[in-house]
Amino acid sequence: MAPSDPTIDPPADAPVETTADPTSDPAASDRDTFADLGLRDDLLTELSRLGYEEPTPIQREAIPRLLAGVDLVGQAATGTGKTAAFALPILDGIHRDDAPIPTALIVVPTRELAVQVSEAMHNYGRSSKIRVLPIFGGQPIVKQLKELDRGVHVVVATPGRAIDHIRRGSLKLEGIRTVVLDEADEMLDMGFMEDIEAILDATPEDRQTVLFSATMPPRIAKIAETHQNDPETVRIRTTKAETANPRIRQTVYMVLRSHKASALGRILDIESPTSAIVFCKTRTDVDELTVTMNGRGYRAEALHGGMDQNQRDRVMARLRDGTAELLVATDVAARGLDVDTLTHVVNYDVPSAPESYVHRIGRVGRAGREGVAITIAEPKQRRLLSNIERLTKQTITVAKIPTVADLRAKQVDVTVAAVREALTADDLEDYYSVYNELKGEASDRDIALAALRMVHLARGATLDEREIPDASEWKDNKGKKGPKGKGRDRHDRGNDRPKGKRREPSGDTGYVHINLGRKVGVRPGDLVGAIANESGLSGADIGPIRISDHYAVVGVPEGNVEDVIRSMRATSVRGKKAKVRRYVE
């Protein structure tokens, strides 16, 4: 299991009774194996079969408490084993002969996470024949109704679809013993607060309530105070050295939007990653960038919410076995991924939430290895970079885009290294016949140069003659650009809106019209959740929202309007088919 990523401490006034810090808990050293945690033998057998050797810190601390039945707030970053931390205690309380009625409800922000958690629980509980069902929007509800009617032990649901089934009466809650809110901070960011409140209000009062979250904003503390009974907190702290994480080299390149893809290719050519993940904001960006990078000679694979689980599994298998060297993914689709071979993480877009940056780069620099975190930023995103630096208490190095000369020098170095390695081969004499055929036609020097040319080009050396403009000196205030003041790039307009005023359409914000409004019960959280789930945008990217009786108008980044329209074509909101088009005043 993977080690802990850096994370953030919750507010000091969080409403909890006990705070567990694994770095200082003397009992933690006594829980070195899963057998020490008190789990059933059949679960231990399955964990061994899956290759789990020892619990992670969050598992060591959470599992015994959950087995004891206490309410829990668990804080740990992506990749630390949170799923097993809550899944194993739930499965421990369900037996082969138990009636197939829902005894646990796990609420997650996205369909991808619903599928991932369901598959993990199925694998852990395979020998007990425990039935786990994921339910989420975008999947035919008739199929879900049939499965619920047949009977299941555990339901893993997105908030909106859980509410739909609760209202239909198809999701029976009388037998629910445990409710888990996984990625609770993400659900709140996506506008699901009202749905979460409604779900908790509908479940039995004597249930066990578990919150898992990477961060602890005040709203999480409010849920704990309102809906949990004397909860304990398990907080996976990191030492100061781990927070600084000197193993990760962090670099930002300032680039205008029109040059981002070229800049990424140039940077990766210089870096030569063994295996890298590139985070994009939308599915469209993922697909387009994957095509671009494959055209540049990289073995790139796409990963986003529009792919089914079989496609996702094939992509991950290719990345893990080295068939693919570049994974281009949305943040949502990549949640929970843990790939040991990663050497580089690239933020193709600066994440709007600083915590997301920390979680992303935490995927490299593990187990004593070095890692590289690269961010491609536009000049207008300096404020987001400042927020990240404040959170991490680090200054991120701003580097110049590599020049054509830099690229050629790197390619020469690669070719020299390849030839040096070939010179040590034992079978050089096998090629004497080739040399013998050529030596009468050209000098030894020309034969060697021709062979080197073949090696150089065969290793993917590109004849890239374009210099990429460096935007590190680009100014995005008062309409000036760099020292010459030639005006901003068209993508950088619209950020000079006076504070405190209602945001109007600008060069940065586009608007979509949705044919559903207050008459069918649509709320802002429904729209944010639907758009975020389908398009891959984060909740912070969506807004403002105006809801009338019969329609709604929602602001999204201008560059993502068409992607939002395409991705919402088959989507329902509040059980009604949504028709989406561009909105123009």
Per residue of the chain (585 residues), what is the pLDDT tens digit?
A: 433 333 333 333 333 334 444 444 444 445 678 889 999 999 999 888 877 778 888 899 999 999 999 999 998 766 577 889 999 999 999 988 889 999 999 999 888 788 889 988 998 988 888 999 999 987 888 999 999 999 999 999 999 999 999 999 999 999 999 999 998 888 887 788 889 999 999 999 999 999 998 777 788 888 888 999 999 999 876 433 334 455 788 999 998 888 888 899 889 888 888 888 999 888 888 888 888 888 777 888 888 877 776 777 788 778 777 788 888 988 766 655 656 678 899 999 888 767 678 878 877 766 566 789 999 998 888 878 887 888 778 888 899 888 888 888 887 888 888 888 888 888 888 888 888 888 888 888 888 888 888 877 776 555 556 788 878 765 443 344 443 333 333 333 333 333 333 333 334 688 999 999 888 888 887 888 888 877 777 777 788 888 888 899 998 888 888 888 988 887 888 878 889 998 876
Spell out the SS3 assignment of 272-303: CCCCEEEEECCHHHHHHHHHHHHHCCCCEEEE
Q: Which tokens belong to 212?
A: 């898992």
Of 377, 584, 374, 552, nearest to 474 (Cα)?
A: 377
What is the model's pLDDT at position 482?
A: 42
What is the model's pLDDT at position 365?
A: 67
Q: Which tokens belong to 534?
A: 């389908």
**Residue 22, preceding bond cis, omega within 30 degrees?**
no
CA distances from 28 to 61, 76, 84 (A): 7, 16, 17
| HSE-up of residue 338 (Cα within 13 Å, Cβ side) | 16
Strand partners, 115: none
Of 570, 584, 585, 581, nearest to 141 (Cα)?
A: 570
Domains of the chain (ranges; CATH) run 18-239 (3.40.50.300), 241-404 (3.40.50.300), 405-458 (no CATH), 497-582 (3.30.70.330)
What is the model's pLDDT at position 228?
A: 93
What is the model's pLDDT at position 153?
A: 95
Q: Which residues lie closer than 8 Å to 86 by C-beta, 6 or more apart?
A: 62, 66, 74, 106, 180, 182, 210, 212
Relative to beta strand 326-330, strand 344-347 is: unpaired
Q: Is 440 helix (H, G, I), strand (E, B) or coil?
A: coil
What is the model's pLDDT at position 239?
A: 39
What is the model's pLDDT at position 486?
A: 38
Q: Which tokens belong to 253?
A: 């390149």
Strand partners, 105: 155, 179
Q: Is 232 helix (H, G, I), strand (E, B) or coil?
A: strand
Of 79, 113, 84, 110, nearest to 359 (Cα)?
A: 79
State if pTM tops 0.75: no
Quick check: 81 and 37 in contact, CB under 8 A?
no
420, containing H or E segment: helix 404-423
Q: Which tokens belong to 425?
A: 């081969």
Q: Is 172 helix (H, G, I), strand (E, B) or coil?
A: coil
Helix and strand totals (H; E) in the chain: 21, 21
Q: Which tokens belong to 61?
A: 């601390």
Rounded Cα distance between 148 and 137, Å, is 15
Quick check: 537 and 560 in contact, CB under 8 A?
yes
CA distances from 259 to 372, 401, 402, 489 (A): 22, 11, 13, 11
What is the model's pLDDT at position 477?
A: 39
Residue 463, classified by CB atoms within 10 Å of its CB into exposed (0-12), middle (13-18) or buried (19+), is: exposed
Q: Starting from the edge strand earliest in sequence, which strands make up the sheet with 552-557, in order? A: 545-547, 552-557, 509-514, 580-582
What is the model's pLDDT at position 210?
A: 96
Structural Rg of the chain based on CA atoms: 26
Q: Which residues lie closer than 8 Å to 431 by C-beta, 6 or more apart?
A: none
Quick check: 264 and 285 in contact, CB under 8 A?
no
Q: Which tokens belong to 143?
A: 């199929």
